């Protein structure tokens, strides 16, 4: 029997096919099953277009047969099969794809017949998938009988220097690919691809939605029925048996019309697919036709994974092509601000690389990603409007991610995300959107007010909020790290600027009020100078406050870094936090009893006055949620003033 050389010019090309194109060896099974599915599709299509071709639908299946003794794995189909010439073309020529040729022929036929529309899902395009077999096999045998032919042919190769072909016997139409699995080595355990449960796992992972049954004879054990006359000393007996099982589910949920899928089915799929114990908050089922055709099923989880806000978390959607898993986590299909979304996308319009393991960055990919982003936002807005309780549950889990997304890329995504924001409101003690806040504003309210702090309760008791609330104005309570950055990035909402309650100009002043405030500052300049001299570099300035009503003291800041920002930088990067400190301003209420006591002490006991100044500074730190530099010294200071 004559050995023929591969028609591809260089042996190096074959080595590339076998050793370099694919990242994981387990991919070989996906590729061979996909080829078997293509062959079956071709026969099914021919049967639809030619009444003379009869096909038994029960035979349209793919059979896997592992043999641990012979150390072979056989993949069999009842598809269109191959003639001798086709075997030489498709198996003897590296990178020659019979599937691609079939697609091109069908496309040409459809172009000539406007009434025709081929609806066959052919997966293979590159003609290299077959050679992935040599990653796990040291010898491959292919036996095939073409539809309409009386001849069968056997093709054999060790993947080194060529192949042989000879006629053989085969009762049925179709193709058998027999892999002679490599011996196990120290690093590679090829024998795992002969284990039935490993094979089943790979089918479910990569080929679960191939639309033909993938069957395998499973060896199992079971308990024998208890004999009717068994006595009390009966011990259960077990027996081995073999049973044919279908390994794949075939019809993916996302391929079914939305009207035919129940909420229970959506939820069950999600919990099984993503190992979650809770139902998702929402499901987005998309079917799009046009320039780019795809189907998608997206889930918004009800809670964040334990590692969601760490570098270990990987975003991405599962990507399928004609029911075959291409990528487990395609990050390019999700923007970072929606990285919490889980789900699948199925499309044949994406350009894949030769191994079908990675996407090439194409216009189609961007179109799908942009469409999905809009679908996700619309679903979140629907929840916000129609199912507020669910939306607030979502917000508690992923609101922080939305805020980080708004800030990323220098605010490039703020228009996409600003409608999704929620903040706690002083008005009714619940969450509100910015649009809802704006709709409640009185005509005379100049700003959208906010106050930042560690918690809602602490913010509510800040002395600088008092005068804003007394005006009947609503305040947004900011309790998370990015909040003030968000306000700065947005700048305004519906032409109403955001304003901190810490700003001296938070409330408009009349000329008389401005004059009175300036007079108080002038009259008490000696007190302010004394406080500044006493505290030194601890503060930038001591100031007569325009933002306090009944409170004696508070801490504010000058410059772009606020006190809350300082806390954030201190937590994120404690080693360099000193480079991002707020310029602290101690604000004093000249109408308070504490201020009066300070003035009296300045006249009678400068040392006591200095201790008063230090006490007021420490109290302002505590109110602002800032740490005392020396708690022990503070305790001693308080005790010293109790004499």
pLDDT at 127 > cutoff 50? no
With 70 as the cut, is the pLDDT of residue 74 above it?
yes
Smallest CA-to-CA distance from 281 within 394, 388, 397 is with 394
pLDDT of residue 116: 43
Mean pLDDT, residues 157-183? 91
- What's the pLDDT band for 125 if we cut at 50, 70, 90? very low
> To which residue do tokens 């005379």 refer?
444
Higher-confidence residue of 561 and 103: namely: 561
What does the pLDDT read at residue 117? Answer: 43
Per-residue pLDDT at 356 exceeds 50: no
Whole-number Å distance between alpha carbons of 122 and 96: 15
Model pLDDT, residue 234: 86
Does the pLDDT of residue 111 top 60, yes or no? no
Q: Is the pLDDT of residue 95 over 50?
A: no
Mean pLDDT value across residues 263-268: 94
pLDDT in tens, 419-445: 999 999 999 899 999 999 999 998 889
DSSP letter assigned to residue 507: S
pLDDT surpassing 90 at residue 236: no
628 vs 614: CA distance, rounded Å: 11
pLDDT band at residue 14 under the 50/70/90 scheme: low
Beta bridge partners of 65: 74
Residue with tokens 């499901």: 283
Q: Please give the order of strands across the beta sheet that includes 553-558.
A: 541-544, 583-588, 553-558
pLDDT, position 99: 44
Task: Please state the rounded mean pLDDT for residues 364-393.
Answer: 95
Bridge-based pairing of strands 496-500 and 492-493 is antiparallel
What band does 97 get if pLDDT is binned at 50, 70 and 90?
A: very low
- The model carries a pTM of 0.76
Give Dmax over CA atoms of the chain in angstroms: 120
Residue 154 is encoded by which pair of tokens?
């056997």
Averaged pLDDT, 139-156: 93
pLDDT at 112: 54
Predicted pLDDT of residue 430: 95
Tokens standing for 351?
Answer: 């350009």
Q: Are 73 and 66 in contact (CB under 8 A)?
A: yes
- The whole-number pLDDT of residue 325 equals 85
Q: Note the pLDDT of residue 162.
A: 81
Residues 524, 528, 529, 534, CA torsion sign: positive
Q: Does residue 351 have a pLDDT over 70?
A: no
**Each residue of 487-538: pLDDT tens digit?**
999 999 999 999 999 998 899 888 888 898 899 999 999 999 999 999 999 9
DSSP 168-200: E--SSSEEEEEEEEPPP-SS--GGGGGSHHHHH
Residue 51: per-residue pLDDT: 67
pLDDT of residue 315 exceeding 90, the answer is: yes
Query: Residue 120's pLDDT is what?
Result: 45
For position 109, what pLDDT does the model report?
55
With beta carbons less than 8 A apart as the criterion, state whether 474 and 440 touch: yes
Residue found by looking up tokens 């994981």 in the block: 24
**Least reliable range by pLDDT among 388-397, 427-436, 574-583:** 574-583
What is the rounded distance in angstroms from the CA atom of residue 10 to the CA atom of residue 15?
9
Percent of the chain topping pLDDT 70: 88
Q: Which two tokens stand for residue 328?
A: 């487990």
- For the chain, the 3-state helix, strand and coil shares in percent, each to the nearest 5, are 45, 20, 35
pLDDT of residue 235 exceeding 80: yes
Query: What confidence tier does 13 reach under pLDDT thresholds 50, 70, 90?
Result: low
Mean pLDDT across the chain: 87
């Amino acid at each position: 029997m004559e050995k023929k050389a591969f028609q591809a010019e260089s042996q190096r090309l074959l080595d590339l096919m076998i050793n370099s194109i694919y990242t994981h060896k387990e991919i070989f099974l996906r590729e061979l099953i996909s080829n078997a599915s293509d062959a079956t599709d071709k026969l099914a299509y021919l049967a639809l277009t030619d009444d003379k071709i009869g096909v038994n639908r029960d035979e349209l299946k793919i059979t896997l047969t592992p043999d641990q003794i012979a150390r072979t794995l056989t993949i069999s189909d009842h598809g269109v099969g191959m003639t001798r010439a086709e075997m030489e073309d498709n198996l003897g020529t590296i990178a020659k794809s019979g599937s691609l040729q079939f697609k091109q022929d069908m496309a040409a036929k459809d172009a000539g017949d406007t009434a025709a529309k081929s609806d066959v899902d052919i997966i293979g395009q590159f003609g290299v998938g077959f050679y992935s077999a040599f990653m796990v096999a040291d010898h491959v045998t292919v036996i095939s009988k073409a539809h309409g032919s009386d001849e069968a042919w056997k093709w054999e190769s060790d993947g080194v220097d060529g192949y042989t072909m000879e006629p053989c016997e085969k009762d049925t139409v179709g193709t058998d690919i027999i892999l002679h699995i490599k011996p196990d080595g120290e690093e590679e355990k090829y024998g795992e691809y002969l284990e039935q449960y490993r094979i089943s796992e790979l089918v479910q992972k990569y080929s679960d939605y191939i639309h033909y049954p993938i069957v395998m004879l499973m060896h199992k054990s079971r308990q024998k029925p208890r004999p009717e006359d068994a006595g009390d000393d009966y011990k259960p007996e077990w027996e081995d048996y073999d049973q044919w099982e279908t390994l794949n589910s075939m019809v993916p949920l996302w391929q079914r019309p939305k009207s035919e899928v129940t909420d229970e089915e959506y939820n069950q799929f999600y919990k099984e697919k993503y190992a979650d114990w809770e139902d998702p908050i929402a499901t987005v089922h998309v079917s799009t036709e046009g320039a780019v055709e795809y189907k998608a099923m997206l889930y918004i989880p009800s809670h964040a994974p334990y590692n969601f806000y760490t570098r270990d978390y990987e975003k991405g959607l599962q990507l399928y092509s004609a029911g075959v898993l291409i990528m487990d986590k395609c990050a390019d299909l999700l923007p970072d601000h929606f990285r919490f979304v889980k789900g699948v996308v199925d499309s044949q319009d994406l350009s894949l690389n030769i191994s079908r393991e990675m996407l090439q960055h194409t216009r189609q990919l961007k179109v799908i990603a942009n469409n999905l982003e809009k679908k996700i936002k619309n679903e979140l807005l629907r929840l916000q409007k129609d199912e507020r309780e669910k939306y607030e549950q979502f917000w508690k889990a992923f609101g922080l991610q939305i805020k980080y997304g708004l800030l990323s890329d220098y605010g490039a995504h703020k228009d996409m995300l600003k409608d999704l924001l929620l903040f706690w409101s002083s008005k009714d003690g619940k969450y509100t959107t910015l649009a809802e806040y704006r709709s409640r504003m009185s005509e005379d309210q100049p700003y959208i007010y906010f106050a930042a702090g560690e918690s809602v309760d602490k913010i509510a008791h800040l002395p600088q909020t008092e005068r804003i609330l007394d005006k009947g104005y609503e305040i947004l309570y900011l309790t998370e790290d990015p909040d003030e950055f968000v306000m700065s990035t947005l700048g305004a909402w519906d032409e109403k600027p955001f304003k901190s309650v810490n700003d001296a100009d938070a409330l408009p002043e009349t000329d008389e009020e401005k004059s009175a405030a300036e007079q108080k500052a002038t009259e008490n300049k000696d007190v302010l100078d004394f406080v500044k001299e006493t505290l030194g570099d601890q503060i930038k300035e001591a100031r007569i406050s325009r933002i306090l009503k009944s409170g004696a003291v508070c801490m504010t800041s000058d410059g772009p870094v606020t006190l809350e920002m300082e806390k954030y930088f201190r937590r994120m990067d404690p080693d360099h936090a000193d480079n991002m400190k707020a310029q602290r301003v101690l604000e004093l209420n000249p109408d308070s009893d504490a201020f009066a006591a300070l003035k009296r002490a300045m006249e009678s006991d400068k040392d006591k006055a200095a201790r008063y100044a230090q006490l007021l500074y420490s109290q302002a730190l505590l109110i602002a949620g800032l740490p005392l530099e020396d708690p022990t010294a503070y305790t001693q200071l308080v005790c010293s003033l109790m004499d």
